[in-house]
Structure 1
């Protein structure tokens, strides 16, 4: 079974990402059935400090306990859906920091994006796509772009439009296809953590 981590990119108090991630998980699990297992990965549960490893992850795996715990969790997945807001045209620092902690754990895995913001976090996702390429991730398809004006009541109560349901289904279908296609690449990757 393909294991997909749905990463909540924001750790900010009052964030909306937890509700968006639960919605994505429920839609994805119903759509994929027994083909995949979807788990929410909440950055708040890891409390990663600003990157505190002396050596970049591309050179050597991190040795601190929080890094090893994070690496073990991320290394266990075959693919990812990143749920991200947009702050000042960029993804949250918490998400970028968490990505920077690791290297090999990301490689050979597809990633799709669900963004939320005034304009659907399109610019934040564009920056994440560039980072994914450097990490040897397969950046897939168009993102699901949720608008704070149209998918949230009073900018806070998450009520996504029905038009996003087929978008999530399409993202899941493509993610599963890529995860299967990249399985030999992941199998050949060096062991991590």
Structure 2
């Protein structure tokens, strides 16, 4: 089983890379039997705005994005919170997806002033519309308590409890949805 850990921010000086590395290292460290985790950075894909004219390179990036996302059985989305919602680049990237994510499971890791809770809530609705099932447990990192000077990631040890529970749910649901995908 392959679980993609997707960094959903493309901003310069972003915190998402450190958060993504932390959750990836945490997941790999669990040594879940039969589960492979891969860190995917949205910044590596030069996606055009959906519906806008795109260069040949951007169209190749869209194809690579679709192929990469389709290769996973489940996901963990790392999302910043911008203006009480998910970032525009991540929303745009998700809008390209359809069958690639259908009947799969996703867990969330958010970060921001309020731990990314509003961004995660936005993603839950967006992803439900695409038949991507959100697990209950989420991980929320506060810019105030989990980042030194709002930029150096220093998460509290207590986050391991939610991270472990969220990964357990993603694995469980991903295995269950595998049977649905075989039928549909």
- TM class, shorter-length: over 0.9
Note the residue ranges of structure 2 that are not aligned, 5 or more in a row. Answer: 54-58
In 2, Cα distance between equivalents of 1:86 and 1:110 = 21
Asked if the contact 2:137/2:165 (under 8 Å) is kept, the reply is: no
In the alignment, is the contact (CA less than 8 A) between 1:115 and 1:146 conserved in 2?
A: yes
Deviation per CA, 1:76-134, whole angstroms, max 9, x where unpaired?
Answer: 00000000110000111010000001111010110000000010010111010001111
Q: How does 1:97-108 map to 2 (within 5 A)?
A: 97-108=92-103
Alignment-derived partner of residue 161 in structure 1: 156
Which segments of 5 or more consecutive residues in structure 1 lack a partner in the other structure? 55-63
8 A contact 2:45–2:62 mirrored in 1:
no
Q: Which residue in 1 is equivalent to 2:23?
A: 24
Please tell me whether the aligned partners of residues 8 and 21 of structure 1 are also in contact (alpha carbons under 8 angstroms): yes
With normalisation by structure 2, the TM-score equals 0.93
Q: Is the 8 A contact 2:18 2:153 kept in 1?
A: yes
Q: Which residue of 1 aligns with 2:83?
A: 88
Aligned mates of 1:188, 1:51 — CA distance in 2 = 30
Which TM-score applies when normalising by structure 1? 0.89
Q: How far apart, in 2, do the equivalents of 1:122 and 1:105 lie?
A: 25
Alignment of 1:50-69 (within 5 A): 50-52=49-51, 64-69=59-64
Give the structure 2 partner of residue 42 of structure 1: 41
- Residue 172 of structure 2 is aligned with which of 174, 177, 192? 177
Q: Which of 103, 124, 129 is matched with 1:134 structurally? A: 129
Q: Is the 8 A contact 1:32 1:172 kept in 2?
A: no
Comparing 138-147 and 29-38, the one that deviates more: 29-38
Name the SS of the counterpart of 1:114 in structure 2. strand
CA contact (8 A) 2:108 2:139 kept: yes
